[in-house]
Structure 1
Amino acid sequence: MTDICKLKNEDRVTSEEYKQWKKNTPFMYDFMMTRILEYPSQTVQWFNDDIEKIDDDPHESMLQRLLFGTNTGSFNEDNHLIIASVALPGYQEAPKVDLYNMSEDAFGTFIHYTGSDQLEADFKIYHNGPVLCARSMPEKENIIATRNHDDLFIYDIKDCLADFNVAGTTSPILIHTKLNSETNLEWNSQTSGLLLTGYVRHKVAVWDLNSQKKRKTLTAKLVLGNDDSDHVGFIYDASWHQKHPEICAAATSKGNILLWDIRSNNVKRPSHYFTGHKGSAFQIKFNPFSEYVFMTSGSDCQIAAWDLRNLNEKLHSIQLKQEKFHTLKWSPHCETLFAALTNDRKVYLFDMDKIFDELLPQEVDNGPSELTFIHGGHTSRVCDFDWNYNDINPLMICSVSDDNVFQIWQMSSKFVTQDTSRSEI
């Protein structure tokens, strides 16, 4: 009975928070789009390909593509990898709206979409099991890596389209079964064809598609780590350096951060490793603008910034009450911006440029000075999110949650203290 009362109270709090968020949406966002999917997606990614402008559109709208998938769960339905197009405004600033002469569905001076016509699936690819992670190759976006609970798949969209037109079926070009890892997938942004994943327990795998033949079993180019690494811990996340394609890193269940140089003659042992967090280390992400800066998150409820030139102490740490951040992503446009997820219903945005900002006494309980924005538009756990790579909308994010909600949103630029154009640290 106590558990039922607790759930009802949580639902009541969620409902009240959502109502408050919806009421304040016009003052917090430049753009908001909400869509209910047939099934929840555990993953989402913007394609970074050419943007198609819509002809004869007064708002200069443009089409961008998104990658996501389905997790049908207990329904035992077929799962699919989905490529979809979404119509987005093409102008730099939202149009000004007469606040005293708005239509009934207008939300203020920002753009709000709820119609299903804004998001249209271009193609669905049958997927064996739930799509738990899907990532397209930066240089060849028709090549997509996915995984379910155990297996790794590589799809070629062009081949899938050809197969579907001929036989009405689609299949991956490469498969590796029994991966036994739940880490994310990450393509090397500097060297085409290199994919980084967890492998088994204490190991990380580097896959090279340039040396693979289609329709063959996928074999790892390198396996980093060894079986005698119980003291290191289980691999939770693996990530490439964004400036040096030979360097990668992993975060482990025992709080360790492992660094490898894949050119080394002995990749069974990491080039460097250190304890970054008390308890587990969940994520590691290198800054796309810096040779040295990276950040990690852990079960100690900290997000830590590090410098490769001195791994003995943190550059900086951020703590938000007792929240454990399990997903981190740097902005592709601004070197100080990043966003993070916890197991609650929110997306948190931080600006490292605000480290030394002083808080007013009434602001202290709201979080650290680096906390720039909280997106509260979801009423269930947020599974994944991704920054839009398009320079026209540098603050735009797509997020997906467990209750089938798919949102594209752009916080107001007034929350950012500096220019969001690309720059180097």
Structure 2
Amino acid sequence: MSTPKESKKRKSNALDEACLELSEEIENGDVHKEEEKEQEDVETQFSNWKTNSGLLYDFVCRKELEWPSLSIDFGDFHNENIEDNVLNQLVCVGTHTSNKEPNYLYVCDVLFPLEQLAQEKCIYKINENYEGFDFCCEKKKFTIKSKIAHTGEVNRIKFLPLERKNIVVTKAIDGNLHLFDINKHKIETNDDKMNPEVSFVGNNSDGFGLDFNAYKKFALTCSNDGMITVYDYNNLSSKTVNPFYKVQYKSPINDVSSLNDPNLILACADNGYILVYDIRVKTTEPAQQVLGQQVPVNCIALNRFTGHFASGSENGKIKIWDIKRFNEPQHIINAHKEAVIRLNFSPNDSSLLASASNNRFINIYDLNKIGEELDAIDLSDGPSELIFSHGGHTQPITDFNWNHHKKLKMFIGSTGEDNTLQFWQLKTELLDEVNTIPTSNTDVE
């Protein structure tokens, strides 16, 4: 028989447990309400974006995919119909499936308008097989030309630069690279077994970094185990290619880029460091290094016109660097409230930089506007360099790329966790307000 003291203790414990359960229920309920409120806000913002798209864009195309894609790149131009002012271009995206569903590299034929659409055409609506602006008599603006089997999700996609048309390289989850000649992969002959023309092997870990040295025809990649590997793709007679340069770093490498000096490699690491390696030197130590942030540096991008590069970090900051004065950044942009996950300079304009973030937005900056004074109203809209923010995704961005066609300035393709592939071009009238200067005079100081 229990004593009154023991009985009182049990009642106290039961009361504590009941209070704890009630507290957890309230907390869970608050979290659920907060999540519902966030979802409602996203849906409202997306609805407003669709309504206002005709005022912000010359062109919008939103295509829902079966699976989210982690990467996108623009390829060759098949045909320019001058009479209709329409461009037919290849675009590649990949899949990121679940439940052991097979993954694929999708080769798509997409139609884009080459001239500014009349304002009455800039209406967001549901079309034959996409949402957005309609622009020509051809109903299907988006066609999957080929579906190429891929082992694991496609982490990164890049077309080989310059003279090698219709050759695309993917970064796989095992860290290795695979090269496909998409002319040889027709949709009717595909099976579920990956069969690349060439595999670049020697990696053991997942990763996303992939770039090319177009001058020497080198492929660069990096992985989460801190490995950087470089391959020569001048001779592709073998089915497998081993790296001729390999270096191990002490922290995961998040991104890699070639530099205008073809002997140098730029990389950024999870420990916040930005590294420069000289492939002529047989040493594991970087030729130069600087602490870019006290948080992970997620991505880097080179401005091919000026030689400057940008770094994007976990804290939402972008830094602009001069490789010749590597000890400190030339400029800092407070870009996003969440992590910067991707950076790309425009291939057609030396002053334009775009960034993607986990906060669902892609920002475009004009680096010629560095140092401009803002009034209190403009300051609340973002930094002086910010000229546009794309809000067409309802989930975090996974990748984006600029279109390299010279007539399609400010034309970007983007992918997100919302399973959408989007193509969008900033309104010409808004672009005219951006005062750019000739490439030879561009400087970030």
TM-score (norm 1): 0.87
* Counterparts of residues 194-209 of structure 1 (less than 5 Å): 194-199=218-223, 201-209=225-233
1:305-360 CA-to-partner distances (Å, cap 9, x unmatched) read 11122122221100136332121000111111111111121111111111122222
Q: Which residue of 1 aligns with 2:268?
A: 251
Q: Residues 116 and 276 (structure 1 numbering): CA distance in 2 closer, same or farther, change over 3 Å? A: farther
2:17 is equivalent to residue 6 of structure 1: no
- The alpha-carbon deviation at position 163 of structure 1 amounts to 11
Tell me, yes or no, if the aligned pair for 2:168 and 2:182 is still in contact at 8 Å: no
1:60-82 deviations in Å (ceiling 9; x for gaps): 212011011111223x2221111
2:94 counterpart of 1:73: no
2:304 is matched with: 288
Q: 1:286 to 1:103 in 2, by over 3 A?
A: closer
Answering whether residue 253 of structure 2 is matched by residue 235 of structure 1, we say yes
SS in 2 for 1:248: strand
Contact between 2:72 and 2:157, CA under 8 Å: does it hold in 1? yes
SS in 1 for 2:185: helix
Could you say if the C-alpha distance between residues 166 and 67 of structure 1 is closer, same or farther in structure 2, counting changes exceeding 3 Å? closer
Q: CA deviation at 1:421?
A: 9.4
What amino acid is the match of 2:350? Answer: E
Match of 2:211 among 167, 177, 186: 186
Say which of 304, 307, 312 aligns to 2:319: 304
| Partners of 1:104 and 1:399 in 2: CA distance | 19
Which of 54, 58, 62 is matched with 1:26 structurally? 54
- The answer on 1:112 being equivalent to 2:133 is yes
CA displacement 1:245-281 (0-9 Å, x = unmatched): 22211101111111022223x2421111111112211
The one-letter amino acid paired with 2:56 is: M
Of the three residues 32, 43, 52, the one matched with 2:79 is: 52
State the distance in 2 between where 1:345 and 1:311 align: 31
| Residue in structure 1 matching 2:67, options 39, 59, 66 | 39
Name the residue aligned to 2:243.
220
Unaligned regions of 5+ residues in structure 2, if any? 1-27
Equivalent of 1:17 in 35, 42, 45: 45
Structure 1 gap segments, 5+ residues each: none
Equivalent residues in 2 for 1:16-415 (5 A)? Answer: 16-47=44-75, 49-54=76-81, 59-74=84-99, 76-91=100-115, 93-97=116-120, 112-113=133-134, 117-139=140-162, 140-157=164-181, 160-161=184-185, 171-175=195-199, 176=201, 178-192=203-217, 194-199=218-223, 201-211=225-235, 213-216=237-240, 218-224=241-247, 226=248, 229-230=249-250, 233-241=251-259, 243-264=260-281, 266-291=282-307, 293-320=308-335, 322-415=337-430
**Do the aligned partners of 2:146 and 2:187 also contact (CA within 8 Å) in 1?**
no
Question: CA separation of 1:105/1:38 partners in 2, compared to 1, >3 Å: closer, same or farther?
Answer: closer
Native 8 Å contact 2:77 2:90 kept in 1:
no
Aligned-pair CA distance for 1:388: 0.4
Structure 2: how far apart are the matches of 1:184 and 1:213? 25
Q: Distance in 1 between matches of 2:400 and 2:368?
A: 22
Q: 1:116 to 1:168 in 2, by over 3 A?
A: farther
Cα displacement string for residues 141-179 of structure 1 (whole angstroms, at most 9, x for unaligned residues): 333221232142323325743897599976013332653
Residue 397 of structure 1 contacts residue 410 of structure 1 at CA under 8 Å; is this kept in 2?
A: yes
Q: Is the 8 A contact 1:161 1:170 kept in 2?
A: no
Structure with bigger gyration radius: 2
What is the percentage of aligned positions where both structures have the same residue?
A: 25
Greater alpha carbon shift after TM alignment, 377-386 vs 318-327: 318-327
Cα 1:154/1:252, change in 2 over 3 Å: same
Q: 1:31/1:328 Cα in 2 relative to 1: closer, same or farther (>3 Å)?
A: same
4+ runs of 1 displaced by more than 6 Å? 102-106, 166-169, 419-422
Say if 1:301 and 1:390 are closer, same or farther in 2 by CA, change over 3 A.
same
For the structure 1 residues 116 and 269, does the alpha-carbon distance in structure 2 shift closer, same or farther, using more than 3 Å as the test? farther
CA distance in structure 1 between the partners assigned to 2:190 and 2:45 by the alignment? 50
Checking the alignment, whether the CA contact within 8 Å between 1:287 and 1:330 is kept in structure 2 is yes
For 2:197, give the aligned amino acid. I
CA contact (8 A) 1:247 1:262 kept: yes
Structure 1 distance, partners of 2:192, 2:397, is: 34
Distance change >3 Å, CA 257–CA 98, structure 1 → 2: closer
SS of 2:226 mapped into structure 1: coil
The amino acid of 2:376's aligned partner reads P
Q: Secondary structure at the match of 1:88?
A: strand
Alpha-carbon distance between aligned partners in 1 of 2:213 and 2:124, rounded to the nearest angstrom: 47
Distance in 1, matches of 2:170 and 2:125, equals 42
C-alpha contact 1:238 1:249 (8 A) present in aligned 2: yes
CA distance in 1 between partners of 2:280 and 2:346 (Å): 29
Q: TM-score when scaled to structure 2?
A: 0.83
In the alignment, the residues of structure 1 paired with residue 151 and residue 98 of structure 2 have an alpha-carbon distance, to the nearest angstrom, of 13
Q: Is the 8 A contact 2:313 2:339 kept in 1?
A: yes
CA 1:116–1:127: 2 relative to 1, 3 Å: farther
Distance 2:412 2:190 in 1: 37
- Post-superposition shift, 1:96? 4.8
